[in-house]
Amino acid sequence: MPLSPASSLPQSADPALAARVDAVLSRALDAQRLVGAVVLIARNGQLVYQRAAGFADRESRTPMREDTLFRLASVTKPIVSTAAMVLVAQGKLSLDDEVTRWLADFRPALPDGHVPAITVRQLLTHTAGLGYRFAQAETNGPYARAGVSDGLDGAGITLAENVRRIASTPLLYAPGTSWNYSVALDVTGALIEAVCGMPLADAVDALVLRPLGVRDTAFVAPDPARLATPYVNDTPQPHRLAENETVPILEGTAGVTYSPARALDARAFASGGAGMVGSAGDVLHVLDTLRAGGGALLPAALVDEMGRVQTGDLDLPDRPGVGFGIGFSVLRDPHAAASPESPGTWRWGGVYGHSWFVDRTRGLTVVSLSNTLYEGMNGQYTIDLRDAVYGAK
């Protein structure tokens, strides 16, 4: 079922839901944990809640709007993963192909020098043995020494060069034996380019965005005037994110080095893991198309494969009861996760301040894009929003 346009939202679509979510947004804004956000909620393909709140740019008092554009960071991943799955649907790619079939030189070695096979599925599920520079303990760790870009900085290199640098660093573990959040979707981006014979931005547009009529999302901001200003949680209020500012997500890690200007730089390489810019409405449309079974984009069986736990009994770090599918996490045990969400719920976010989830059992697709890191990604706000959606106490 296609998603109803925002203009068709009834004023009384779900007043109790609206009151609960409004209260969560107002608390986060009043407490200056968020500067601004756009929240959209669809139920069974019908938009039942939409609100743009706070400021897109606080200093100029520019209000957040429903069509505000955001640096999507890892909200890019489900979009690029979907592009890869469209190639699978077209018979041009197999999940169990070895990556070297398409990227002959991508042969990272284990610490003992052995070069194992890596499959497309292992890239898409973060089980390939790769990592992220921002998550390494040392600021001069292996990825930093190799000059690997996380796709969020201002590195003036090509995608091919970044993939070469990734391949030059030792794998963290034998592919398929563990899970580690990683630059694997950047490698997937290079693989998509090889399969399609075109730049990643053009391939994603042809495979996913254009078929869905999504025109506000790309690897460079299509309308810079609508781009939200990013902020970092601070006391007494969030501060404006500076160019090349490094902000650790977890204590004891190197942290993410940000280049807000990257969203405006057509020369920056297209990062399949973190490089897109888009609107909340576009993100909702992509996710809700998947929730509804893939529409004309993907056969239902491949959507089900994306939503299947691909990581066995492995729990994700600091996420009890949660495994990983293709493009996003999958809730395995709501009790262990202390969540009101249904088993099988998909979820992920983005380091610029985003979170989203899809509960197919209840027909829910929820997107929250904010301009405040890291509260909008993994702060109390995200828990409060989830609980408000479910009416949980």
Q: Which residues are catalytic?
A: 74
Show contacts of 13-16: CB within 8 Å, 24+ apart: 13/46, 13/47, 13/48, 13/49, 14/43, 14/48, 14/49, 16/391
Q: How many Cβ atoms from other residues are within 10 Å of residue 393's Cβ?
A: 5
Q: How far is CA 88 from CA 182, 199, 229, 274, 306, in A?
A: 22, 18, 37, 22, 12
Q: For 207, what's the count of Cα atoms within 13 Å in the CB-facing half-sphere?
A: 27
**Strand pairing category for 322-324 and 277-279:** unpaired
Cα separation, 348 vs 45, whole angstroms: 20
Using alpha carbons, select from 336, 334, 275, 348 the residue that is nearest to residue 306.
Answer: 348
Identify residue 389 by its one-letter amino acid code.
V
CB contact set of 128 (below 8 Å; sequence gap of 6+): 118, 119, 122, 171, 175, 182, 184, 187
DSSP 141: S
CB contact set of 60 (below 8 Å; sequence gap of 6+): none
